[in-house]
Structure 1
Amino acid sequence: MSQTHSAPPDGLPPGQRLWAMAAIAVAIALAVMDSSVANVALPAISRDLGAEPSDVILVVNAYQIATIVSLLPFASLGEKVGHERVYTVGLAVFTAASVACALSSSLPSLIAARAIQGFGAAGLMSVNTALIRYIWPQALLGRGVGTNALIVAAASVAGPPVGSAVLAVAHWPWIFAINLPLGLAALALSRFLPRTHRSGRRFDAASALLSAATFGLLTLGLEQFTRGAAWWVVVLFVAGFLGFGLALVRRQAGRPSPLLPVDLLRIPVFALSIATSICSFTAQMLAFVAMPFLFQHALGRSAVESGLLITPWPLVLIVVAPLSGRLADRINPGLLGGVGLALLAGGMALLATLPSAPSAFEIGWRVALCGAGFGLFQSPNNRVLLASAPRERSGGASGMLSTARLLGQTTGAALAGLALSPLLGSKDGASLAMMIGAAVAALAAVVSLSRLAATRRA
């Protein structure tokens, strides 16, 4: 069993903090990156395993669904047994499942291994930001959250490029095999993670099952909607989501540390931060799905050119995210988030209304504006979300933060699919998707700014 250290009342000493953040960085980067790293390998997997392309997409979906259905249960478990234990076990499961993915010789075995890998990733994501709160002192929490946001943001856009780089020199199983040495390194570093609060309360297995059913049906319903399934199929999934969701909320009412953190959602600043997060990631995913279509279909750019034109977003975000995290320790995060989301909305609207033959510079500065806006928002939002929850409920806050991100991304992908489909009758679906994203980002900016009043009342 890995050694753990007791956390001081207000964060870890600088030396141990560095090593603890190294463990966090490697593990969470692997978990986030693996949600998309396999995308570029799907054609090769289909060919080698003799599977239909429509079936191979389950390699991606199995990971995402397993992750989102288990985030809140693992966050709740972390409050009971310790966040560092859930993190370490999740990392071990993720690493072992990565080896199983690399050794898979059939599509069913690969899908099963990816689902297990997704459960391991959920163990990491569910308590990731809760550990940040124990690693960093309160006065420097924005800096820690900014560093973590930088790692998550970089990993979220690094998946396809890393996958392409591996495929350029090796066969597709190596996309998963490279996780083994990195995972073992993170496991070795996990002994520096702080010992966190244990509630000692009984784990609510029934609520965990209700939570899995609620978010699983929501995710599957959005996926069916995106794929153009019959209306009655989508309605069945939505009805199931509402039914299980209502049962989950009723079961959580009055519990001291509910699995679905309804106690935290009663805190106005926390609830507004969750709503802002969902809207912002919805807008981000709308942009990421729409930009390749906009650049290639509407503007006639090649696939390589499109990739280069999207690059300013992550490059600027890498600079802005840690800076905004530091600013959040001194400036109200609601204000920083509102300004950032307004910049994101403006950038997406400008991309949607590009001239017919724009230069690379005209495209690039608009994309960079989007990245700067998102980077200015993310770290302050995560900081205020964590800080608004009691420290012993850091697990619930962390689980909701990751759930909000995945729900926003799933919703954004569904809306982008709708905008790009013939259903709306639009000849320029990519521009429509960008305008929808701009509207969602503008709404998120208003919600973020409303936290100024909520903070004053608090």
Structure 2
Amino acid sequence: MKIREHLSLLAVLCSMAMVVLDAGMLNVALPTLSNALAVGPADIIWSVSAYQMALLVGLLPSAQLAERFGHRRMFVAGLMIYLAASVLCSVSPNLLALLVGRVFQGLGGAVIMALGIAILRVVLGPDRLGKAIGWNALVVALSSAAAPALAAAILAAGSWQWLFLAKLPIGIVALAASIGFPPSNSTRSSIDGVAIVIHAASAVLILFAFERLNSQPAMATVALVGVAGLARWMIAREKMRQVPLWPVDLLANRPLRTAVYASVACFTAQSAGLVALPLLLQLGLGTSVIDTAIVMMFWPVAVAVTAPIAGRLSERADPSILCSIGGMLLGAGLLIACFSPASAGLSPYVAAAVVSGAGFGLFQVPNNRTMFLSAPPDRAAAAGGMQGSARLSGQTFGTLLVGLLLGYYPTTDAVSLAVGLGGLSALVASMVSFSNLPRFVQRHHA
């Protein structure tokens, strides 16, 4: 690799690590923040919701802005916004100030998530993109595994403000390394302000509906009907634009469209498993918090081991085969956890975490590679925005699934059912990925 390639890779991976660490560390620290800011648990959870809302709102507009002003310029701007927002969060005297900081963190994080792999595609080329995605998955998995322990160590040694400040050196390294990015190539494409407003309104209504689905189903239904109306209008409008905000042009590409659908199903399974499995261990088996954390740690470790291997395999084998096998392994792992008797102890759940993590790592890398390489180079940012949106949508659906089941069934039955349905969602992802195989075979035997 050339020095510029090393620097570009370092900038993207450090930025991704910073964003992932932030999410994992804050989830652990919510009780501490609740006490420090003198607000209730229901209020402090908005620090998570505000970030998710900004992320969902910002992903696709970030891609369009990058196509207008250039990837490098937008990525650096997003990174600087994220760092400034982290400082703002650290000095927040009350919940309102913290929420403002979290919104700006989400907007900066959206730029990072939408453009990171798109930049690496330009820097490394399509032949090495699979390895780059594998390295990215490795960093994400290790950061996810380290976040809870790092948050606990920071809170034990200092105040909650250091949760936001401790990551700043990583961001500064990323900012310095971004000098290796290729120059920004601006275009004359216009920014569709109306589309951005409609997109933001749709995202806010979706999150509002999900928040209210259990407590106020009528209001949630009205919100979802509103989203459907906005979406219908938006799609009709976007089809007439050469560079649409909602990438309906890219969804006309069957391999890319299939990869997006499979990604939503896979992340639904992953989210349902990661949320419900700890509850199943603690409430169903009476496992301690420490033992539960140890069992769950096998999941990201398995992803970290599998992802680089999947990156190399994705450059040699058909991605639909790898994704199909990965989805089946993820589904099998979750179904093992669902149907294992309590008398069997923790061993089946450790095996389930390992198999699920390995399957997710094997699925994620080739599926992301398919999404990015199916899009034209000048639409790589849009592909990145769509990939991030698919991931966030699946994670939201998985969390919603667990919440809905907890509202209608006894706790132990609900979380066990959620794990099982997550397994079925992973199998759906496997079948959707496999549907691309005939075209691959026909193309190579023609």
Normalised to the residue count of structure 1, the TM-score between the two structures is 0.94
Give the SS at the match of 1:104.
Answer: coil
Give the SS at the match of 2:342.
Answer: coil
Query: Partner letter of residue 30 of structure 1?
Result: M
- 1:127 deviates by 1.0
For residue 96 of structure 2, what is the aligned residue in structure 1? 108
Mapped to 2, the partners of 1:158 and 1:211 lie a distance apart of 34
Alignment of structure 1 residues 171-210 onto 2, 5 Å: 171-210=159-198
Computed over aligned residues only, the root mean square deviation of the Cα atoms, in angstroms, reads 1.5
Alignment partner of 2:351 out of 365, 377, 380 = 365
Query: Partner letter of residue 77 of structure 2?
Result: V
- CA deviations 1:229-277 (Å, max 9, x no partner) are 2111111221221122122211111322111110000000000000010
Give the SS at the match of 1:357.
Answer: helix
For residue 438 of structure 2, what is the aligned residue in structure 1? 453
Alignment partner of 1:290 out of 276, 284, 309 = 276
CA contact (8 A) 1:269 1:454 kept: no
CA contact (8 A) 1:344 1:370 kept: yes
Aligned residues: 443
**Structure 2 stretches of 5 or more lacking a match?**
none
Alignment partner of 2:49 out of 33, 47, 61 = 61
CA contact (8 A) 1:58 1:111 kept: yes
CA contact (8 A) 2:284 2:412 kept: no
CA contact (8 A) 2:8 2:120 kept: no
For residue 137 of structure 2, what is the aligned residue in structure 1? 149
For residue 39 of structure 1, what is the aligned residue in structure 2? 27
Give the SS at the match of 1:203.
Answer: coil
- 1:194 deviates by 1.8
Query: Partner letter of residue 324 of structure 1?
Result: A
- 1:376 deviates by 0.6
For residue 253 of structure 1, what is the aligned residue in structure 2? 239
Query: Partner letter of residue 234 of structure 2?
Result: L
Query: Partner letter of residue 393 of structure 1?
Result: R
CA contact (8 A) 2:334 2:423 kept: yes
**Structure 1 stretches of 5 or more lacking a match?**
1-12
CA contact (8 A) 1:35 1:64 kept: no
CA contact (8 A) 2:78 2:107 kept: yes
Mapped to 2, the partners of 1:427 and 1:21 lie a distance apart of 44
- CA deviations 1:356-384 (Å, max 9, x no partner) are 22233332122101111111100000111
Mapped to 1, the partners of 2:185 and 2:320 lie a distance apart of 28
- CA deviations 1:109-156 (Å, max 9, x no partner) are 111111111111111111112112112122222111111222233334
Mapped to 1, the partners of 2:143 and 2:204 lie a distance apart of 24
- 1:181 deviates by 2.2
- 1:157 deviates by 4.3
Mapped to 2, the partners of 1:457 and 1:398 lie a distance apart of 28
Moved more, 189-198 or 163-172: 189-198
Alignment partner of 1:137 out of 110, 125, 142 = 125
CA contact (8 A) 2:145 2:301 kept: no
- 1:333 deviates by 0.4
Give the SS at the match of 1:254.
Answer: coil
Mapped to 2, the partners of 1:76 and 1:445 lie a distance apart of 31
Alignment partner of 2:316 out of 330, 336, 339 = 330
- 1:27 deviates by 0.8
Alignment partner of 1:313 out of 299, 312, 322 = 299
CA contact (8 A) 2:34 2:44 kept: yes
CA contact (8 A) 2:266 2:425 kept: yes
Check if 1:438 corresponds to 2:423.
yes
- 1:417 deviates by 1.1
Normalised to the residue count of structure 2, the TM-score between the two structures is 0.96
Distance 1:455 1:248, change over 3 A: farther
- CA deviations 1:208-238 (Å, max 9, x no partner) are 111111222112212222xx22111111221
- 1:59 deviates by 1.0
